[in-house]
Copies of this chain bind each other. A is one copy, B any other.
Amino acid sequence: MSSTLGTLFKITTFGESHCKGVGVVIDGCPAGMELCETDIQHQLDRRRPGQSELTTPRDEKDQVSILSGTERGRTLGTPIALLVANRDQRPGDYAEMSQVPRPSHADYTYQMKYGIRASSGGGRSSARETIGRVAAGAIAEKYLRETWGVEIVAWVSAIGIIDAPACDMAAINRKEVDASPVRCPDRAAAEQMEQAILAARDGKDSLGGIITCVCRNVPVGLGEPVFDKLEARLAQAMLSLPATKGFDIGSGFSGTRLAGSRHNDPFVQKGQRLGTATNYSGGVQGGISNGEPIYFRVAFKPTATIGQVQKTVDFAGREVELETKGRHDPCVVPRAVPIVETMAALVLADLALIQKMRA
């Protein structure tokens, strides 16, 4: 249930960590768009494990294959099915977990909900589930970019207790973000974050962090009052990602501390359109995009799977000491950067198509 997202640009993902493959069906992508595997692969490459010593040594090439929906390099308007085969399967690694639900992982709740669960690797709660999303998001992003010049850029703005000072949202690009393996464009902070992650790895521990994302050139008018407000759809999309615990947009939680007279964004003329002098609103007013940059933050908890011995109980309630051996990231946040961009693209593409009915 509920592996489907969107109304007109609709995606359905499938696949567990250790089955034959993971993938997605995209229904509603506009016809006639140029599309081939390389358009999709670049974001998958940014997401995949094994990119640096900061990530899990599980090495998956994650090559995407277009199964349907295109012909001679153009979309037909029909469902686009994308598949990434699972190649590096080692279910045995996780055998010890079958009797003991890992703390703060989904083992317990999946077992209680379904009465059964994938024996390994987290099943649908695994970060591997996001492959289908990223593949679909690359298409959504291509559509937005080619139609309106939309630019979506996310970066790591905090790892553990290390914050990166605000970067220039008007100008930041992915090349700057990818310049450091931790995907933080603030070089000094990036250096410290990297050290912190390596220390966590060596200590068999894990770290969380915050990703900030900006969407520029979004046309005015996207978002549907009242339950599909732009920020509501973004919030759902982001909190549907594994390990996320929070979302805020514009001034967010810190904006609650300002008075209205300070927080309001006065209108000013900007070229042919109205804009705002400040942007505490984060590009959204009344649930609808106003043409200013949309920016938001997403909180990621520290990875639940750690190498340290943990005192917990097994499914029968017996006290045990759990020592997890599998391969895992000490910090998923750098790899989550393209995933956050993906979810933003999927939400915006869907709302853009809905808004077109008013054209």
- In the bound complex, how far is the Cα of B67 from the Cα of A83, in angstroms? 10
Interface string of A1-31 (1 = CB under 8 A from B): 1111101101011111001111101011011
Give A93 Cβ to nearest chain B Cβ, in Å.
Answer: 15
Give A268 Cβ to nearest chain B Cβ, in Å.
Answer: 6
Selected from B78, B299, B354, the residue in CB contact (under 8 A) with A225 is B78
- Asked if B80 and A114 sit within 8 Å, CB to CB, the answer is no
Selected from B2, B3, B31, B289, the residue in CB contact (under 8 A) with A115 is B31
Which A46-61 residues have a C-beta within 8 angstroms of B?
A: none
Give A54 Cβ to nearest chain B Cβ, in Å.
Answer: 15
Supposing A313-B269, A359-B359 touch, asked if A306 and B260 sit within 8 A by C-beta, the answer is: yes
- In the bound complex, how far is the Cα of B114 from the Cα of A295, in angstroms? 24
Is A312's CB within 8 Å of the partner chain B?
yes
Is A229's CB within 8 Å of the partner chain B?
yes
Number of interface residues of A (CB under 8 A): 150
Closest to A354 in B: B1
- Asked if A282 and B245 sit within 8 Å, CB to CB, the answer is yes
Which A197-252 residues have a C-beta within 8 angstroms of B?
A: 200, 205-210, 220-221, 223-229, 231-240, 242, 244-252
Closest to A109 in B: B288
- Asked if A1 and B15 sit within 8 Å, CB to CB, the answer is no
Is A285's CB within 8 Å of the partner chain B?
yes
Is A281's CB within 8 Å of the partner chain B?
yes
Give A56 Cβ to nearest chain B Cβ, in Å.
Answer: 14
- In the bound complex, how far is the Cα of B220 from the Cα of A299, in angstroms? 24
Give A21 Cβ to nearest chain B Cβ, in Å.
Answer: 5
Interface string of A114-130 (1 = CB under 8 A from B): 11111100111100010
Closest to A22 in B: B68
Supposing A20-B68, A67-B21, A247-B235 touch, asked if A355 and B113 sit within 8 A by C-beta, the answer is: yes
- 10 shortest A-B CB distances, which residue pairs? A106-B286, A246-B248, A206-B260, A2-B228, A236-B236, A260-B302, A109-B288, A2-B224, A77-B114, A235-B235
11 further A-B contacts with Cβ under 8 Å, apart from A21-B81, A77-B113, are: A15-B68, A16-B71, A101-B274, A103-B265, A105-B286, A207-B259, A227-B237, A246-B252, A253-B253, A263-B301, A356-B356
Binding site for B on A (CB under 8 A): 1-5, 7-8, 10, 12-16, 19-23, 25, 27-28, 30-32, 65-72, 74-81, 83, 101, 103-106, 108-110, 112-119, 122-125, 129, 158, 160-161, 200, 205-210, 220-221, 223-229, 231-240, 242, 244-253, 255-261, 263-269, 274, 276, 280-282, 284-290, 297, 299-304, 306, 308, 310-313, 315, 317, 353-359
10 A-B interface contacts by CB (under 8 A) = A2-B27, A4-B27, A20-B67, A76-B118, A78-B225, A103-B264, A158-B256, A208-B256, A261-B310, A264-B310
